[in-house]
DNA sequence: TTTCTTGGCGTAGAAAAACTAAGGCTATTC
DNA sequence: GAATAGCCTTAGTTTTTCTACGCCAAGAAA
């Protein structure tokens, strides 16, 4: 009963954040990606929180984690809390007068679609700094601090989304290869170039077009679409082109369509705006400029 | 426009917590006390947040800080966010099946009033562990993780408060001194013993009783009331007694009242319960036992 | 079967954050 | 007009947090 034990410290906020992300994804790896740390760090955070509270939050299985009943019951409160944190964070960031405009985009979009538009936009807003972050998966615009995001996806009814263009898909290759195909050579005899992230593109194209392919999964894979584009330009094989990503190459004639017809991938190029943003006016103007 | 800059890290949560506390108190020192860190730590946290956001949050003056307009506009969002965090934290803690019952109390109460009651309560709940934290100021039961708090204060209308006893004040001393006073010796001729935290007790008592004191602020000061009690027992002077803190000494006769009459300090001994708590039933039972 | 892939755990060392202690500044007090 | 008391900052150290890397188990592919 001795007096003046140290006032108990507050809860470990970073551990709570890690738990919230892990619980939402039901995966330490995914949580680590979201938070930009290694899965080990998430693991430690979760353990910290479990120790601190004395409650077991996850059941560790060999092929993934599973929330315990206790953990499941907490997810809503934790998500609400970090939503509130995100609101506060946005309020804070929106006060900053001279911060960059942060754009998130798929790597391929950032490399092949954005630059030309951004050049134009820079002309309209010479005082603004732009920073572009390439992300494999679209960020949560409520949680993360981006002012714009450009990704492929299926538009939903939510506001703050602008459909920029449908995603049209068609085979392309270097002019030299195109001539050989025009002479009757089969598609199969060339290498099919793949992007890591869209590995089933050729299979769906084959189904849509009715043109059979012996093995739509064969051929070199590239981690970045732009690498595949360069290879295609060099004549390494045939690439499935996405309209909006090849504007430049098609205009320059370094790549040509193999056939006339293109097919929709079912997705669209979508521009998303956060619900509330600083520089509302500018961001909206930028959005309009991107639509052209 | 290079690809793959690191995904921007989330906001510094601990810095946000420090800012919230500092903004609420308009003082780095007070915030440090609440968070149990030095003012320097708070200062750094705030600076971190200012740097991170690029917004100036506080105006540093020589005799204290002042929120800037920006800072003021953020306080509500931040407080809401950390309220939500507190809710989540409570949910988490309430799941813990075998945690201690945490009691917060004024040091004097923890030392002089609680022990006898706690002994009784332990008898009723032999399976429960109790931990007592002595605090100069009552904790926020919504923010902090206490199951009970016992402090002097003015009861407000909020529920979850139980008035245990009015705080009655009267001079006490050792029996030996009491005899000398009975023989007509003036109060002033003895040392007035003070508790650090209630430094104006003697002055208000003098006003209430109409008994003049030459210098009600003079005399030794003790950082803990229980020290003053021990000194009074040893005959070092006259102490202003609080009924509930001297039960034992009065019963044992080691201290005796100098006069018959006692005066209310205007405060009461108040038991507070958090809105929602784990072990609701037990905590309520404990509350009832404390009322006896 | 064997092999490969995926996801999580543990540990050691490196990197980053947080904390304390001492110092400086400004107003107030004697 | 020095001394005092508040309050904040700075420098340096302690503590935490993160990563890298090896390990293990379970499911998928060969």
pLDDT, position B22: 92
Domains of chain A, by residue range, sit at 13-95, 99-292
The answer on pLDDT for A218 being more than 90 is no
A248-271 confidence digits (pLDDT tens): 999 999 999 998 888 998 899 999
Chain A residue with the nearest C-alpha to that of B116:
A1
Structure confidence at residue B6 (pLDDT): 55
Same fold? B13-95, B99-292: no
Which pLDDT value is given to residue A1? 36
CA of B187 and C1' of C17: distance in angstroms? 57
The answer to whether the CB atoms of A16 and B85 lie below 8 A apart is yes
Would you call B96 and A53 a contact, using CB atoms and an 8 Å cutoff? yes
Contact B74 A54 (CB under 8 A): no
Cross-chain residue pair B53–A92, CB shorter than 8 Å: yes
Work out if B44's Cβ lies within 7 angstroms of strand C: yes
- Split at pLDDT 50, 70, 90, the class of A7 is low
pLDDT digits (tens, 9 = 90+) for A275-290: 777 777 788 888 888 8
User: Where would I find the H helices in chain A?
Assistant: 13-25, 28-35, 39-53, 69-95, 107-112, 114-124, 175-182, 201-209, 225-233, 247-252, 280-291
Q: What is the CATH number of domain A13-95?
A: 1.10.10.10
> Distance, in angstroms, between B286 CA and closest chain A CA?
18
Give the per-residue pLDDT at B156.
85
Which tens digit of pLDDT belongs to each residue from B25-81? Answer: 999 899 998 888 988 899 999 999 999 988 899 988 877 888 888 889 999 999 999
Query: Which chain A residues contact residue B248 at CB under 8 A?
Result: none
Q: What is the pLDDT along chain B (292 residues), one digit of tens a residue?
A: 333 455 667 899 999 999 999 999 999 899 998 888 988 899 999 999 999 988 899 988 877 888 888 889 999 999 999 999 999 999 888 887 767 788 999 989 999 999 999 999 999 998 888 888 888 888 888 888 888 999 999 988 777 888 999 999 999 999 998 898 888 777 778 888 888 778 778 888 888 888 887 777 778 888 789 989 999 999 999 999 999 999 999 999 999 999 888 899 889 999 998 887 777 788 888 888 888 7
SS3 sequence, chain B? CCCCCCCCCCCCHHHHHHHHHHHHHCCHHHHHHHHCCCHHHHHHHHHHHHHHHCCCCEEEECCEEEECHHHHHHHHHHHHHHHHHHHHHHHHHHHCCCCCEEEEECHHHHHHCHHHHHHHHHHHCCCCCEEEEECCCCCCCCCCCCCEEEEEECCCCCCCEEEEEEEEEEEEECHHHHHHHHCCCCHHHCCEEEEHHHCCHHHHHHHHHCCCCCCCCCCCEECCHHHHHHHHHCCCCEEEEEHHHCHHHHHHCCCEECCCCCEEEEEEEEEECCCCCCCHHHHHHHHHHHHC
**Which of A69, A76, A85, A140 is the mutation pick for testing B, counting most B CBs within 10 A?**
A85
Rg of chain A, C-alpha, whole Å: 24
Of the partner residues B5, B17, B80, the one whose CB lies closest to the CB of residue A10: B17
Q: Answer for B6: CB within 7 Å of strand D.
A: no
How high is the mean pLDDT of chain A?
86
Which residues 6+ apart lie within 8 Å of A188 measured at CB? A213, A214
Question: How much is the pLDDT for A134?
Answer: 86
Share of chain A above pLDDT 70, in %: 96
Going by C-beta distance under 8 Å and a sequence separation of 6 or more, which residues neighbour residue B286? B101, B121, B125, B148
Q: Which residue has the higher pLDDT, B203 or A99?
A: B203
pLDDT recorded at residue A6: 54
- In chain A, the percentage of residues whose pLDDT exceeds 90 is 36
CB of A10 within 7 Å of some strand D atom: no
For residue B34, give the chain A residue with the closest CA: A7
Contact B135 A7 (CB under 8 A): yes
pLDDT (average), residues A92-108 = 84
**pLDDT at residue A89, rounded to an integer:** 92
Chain CA centroid to CA B115, Å: 17
- The CATH class, in words, for A99-292 is alpha beta
* Cβ neighbours of B245 in A, within 8 Å: none
Residue B48 Cβ < 7 Å to strand D: no
CB pair distance less than 8 Å for B4 and A107: yes
- B79 CB-to-strand C distance under 7 Å: no
pLDDT, tens digit (0-9, with 9 covering 90-100), for A132-184: 888 888 888 888 888 899 999 998 877 788 899 999 999 999 999 889 888 87
CB of A158 nearer than 7 A to strand C: no
């Amino acid at each position: 009963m001795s007096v003046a034990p140290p006032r108990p410290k507050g809860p470990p906020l970073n551990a709570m954040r890690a738990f919230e992300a892990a619980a939402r994804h039901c995966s330490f790896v995914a949580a680590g990606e979201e938070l930009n740390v290694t899965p080990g760090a998430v693991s430690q955070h979760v353990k910290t929180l479990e120790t601190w509270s004395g409650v077991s939050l996850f059941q560790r299985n060999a092929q993934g984690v599973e929330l315990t009943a206790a953990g499941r019951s907490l997810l809503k409160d934790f998500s609400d809390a970090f939503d509130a944190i995100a609101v506060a964070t946005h309020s804070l960031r929106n006060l900053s007068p001279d911060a960059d405009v942060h754009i998130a985009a798929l790597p391929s979009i950032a490399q092949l679609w954005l630059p030309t538009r951004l050049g134009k936009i820079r002309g309209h807003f010479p005082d603004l700094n732009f920073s572009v972050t390439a992300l494999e998966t679209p960020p949560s615009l409520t949680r993360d601090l981006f002012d714009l995001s450009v990704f492929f996806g299926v538009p939903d009814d939510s506001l703050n989304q602008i459909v920029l263009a449908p995603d049209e898909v068609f085979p392309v290759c270097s002019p030299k290869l195109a001539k050989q195909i025009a002479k009757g050579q089969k598609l199969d005899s060339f290498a099919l170039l793949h992007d890591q992230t869209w590995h089933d593109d050729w299979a769906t194209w084959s189904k849509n077009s009715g043109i059979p392919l012996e093995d739509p999964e064969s051929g070199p894979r590239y981690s970045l679409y732009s690498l595949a584009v360069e290879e295609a330009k060099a004549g390494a094989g045939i690439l499935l082109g996405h309209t909006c990503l090849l504007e430049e190459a098609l205009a320059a004639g370094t790549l040509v369509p193999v056939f006339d017809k293109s097919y929709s991938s079912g997705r669209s190029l979508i521009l998303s705006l956060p619900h509330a943003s600083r520089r509302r006016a500018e961001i909206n103007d930028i959005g309009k400029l991107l639509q052209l």
